Chain A
């Protein structure tokens, strides 16, 4: 919590599109701060793992003790939202190739599963529990969720594939809602903080 008692969301800022998430949280009207060290997690009520390169983030996790800190943060029941690279970090299993991960959401994620940048695309998908309009989804060198475990709910689909999933307080999207003007998904995440946010 910030000094005035308002809730704040941390945005992991080791590398990636953290500034776009900050822009979106401004629009939703919730406080935020950048997280570069494990100690920065003290005093935030939720965490966003942004898009970027998961391999780079993992390298810097090790030197900062960030992986353990994020797992502890999740164990306290605080909400975490990962987009693209962030979703890869949250998975229990990563393919193409296998790599380190936080292992917080029981799912198998395949990296770069649509192909290279030339295969990146903007599509409209369905998130029936969140919105009655088609949701704009920006996929950039995106992963695909190949399997979800029990207790993982699929909240959004595009072309039949799960692209937005939820496991308790954890949320993961293979696309980038932060690159659009549609606040639906960030608003849904912010609601997980509970009242007085």
Chain B
């Protein structure tokens, strides 16, 4: 797909390098060092983990530049940071600071309720969340070089990540069964660019890596989304909201690599203490959901 697009080759290329790994949310240089030491492939710098954003409320914005710089200086692995949906100036600032990936994220309070950032105009790569194939392809159409299927961030509950990962893989399988003349109507239904719909119909997968995020709290959760087709995992509140961050981080890293080997996932599960408590997503009010942000 990107043979003749050097910019996308570099952006998607970095996402390829992260496959099979764990990207961890961190809020300080100290947490970033713990994550790197545990084997994280990258860290996501943010001001508050989603569980705290959920609890404390208020407007959630891009992290403080001072903290992002401290994190960048503390580790040698790639550093990502979140910008608000549609807030292209936060993205410009993060690019100027030199972060390695920008997450245009529904976890922060959206800055634009109609438009996402025009990601093609940036040199730094973007990852975006998606709950279904149409949303994923719209983001790729805007220039996202990595998709993370959304869970319900900060819930410690895997149910939404599973729902959306299954939805996207099911929709892609379905596309491969369609005849060529059916693809235009399908593109209209999905609200997605026709060229990307055609590409997925031909290849049965997204043209960029597809990672999973939101609600992953245990080694078994990580192995579950990997078996369902995720190519790497983001872990947010699940690590630093647990009783034993370093040990849990290490165990989730190992379970992600060996996701198909129950004996190893069992060893990883035995090593960890108590997981974050988690919440029943079905008991949340519709307006409390973070996953519905993004259009």
Contacts and interface: CB of A to CB of B under 8 A. Distances in A.
Partners in one complex: yes
Contacts, number: 107
Interface residues of B, number: 36
A118 B124 contact: yes
A85 interface: yes
Given A56-B41, A59-B38, A120 B14 contact: yes
Contacts of B19: 15-19, 52
A85 B17 contact: yes
B77 interface: yes
Interface string B202-215: 00000000000000
A97 B76 contact: yes
B40 to A, nearest CB: 7
A195 B17 CA distance: 32
Contact of A52 (B21, B38, B123): B21
Interface residues of A, number: 36
B9 A122 contact: yes
A117 B124 contact: yes
Interface stretch (B82-90, B128-136, B148-156, B253-261): B253-261
Interface string A65-100: 000000000000000000011000000000011000
A4 interface: no
Interface in B176-234: none
A15 B77 contact: no
Interface string B4-23: 00100110011011111100
Given A15-B20, A179-B9, A52 B41 contact: yes
Interface of A: 13-20, 36, 51-53, 55-56, 59-60, 63, 84-85, 96-97, 111-112, 115-118, 120-122, 138, 140-141, 176, 179, 181
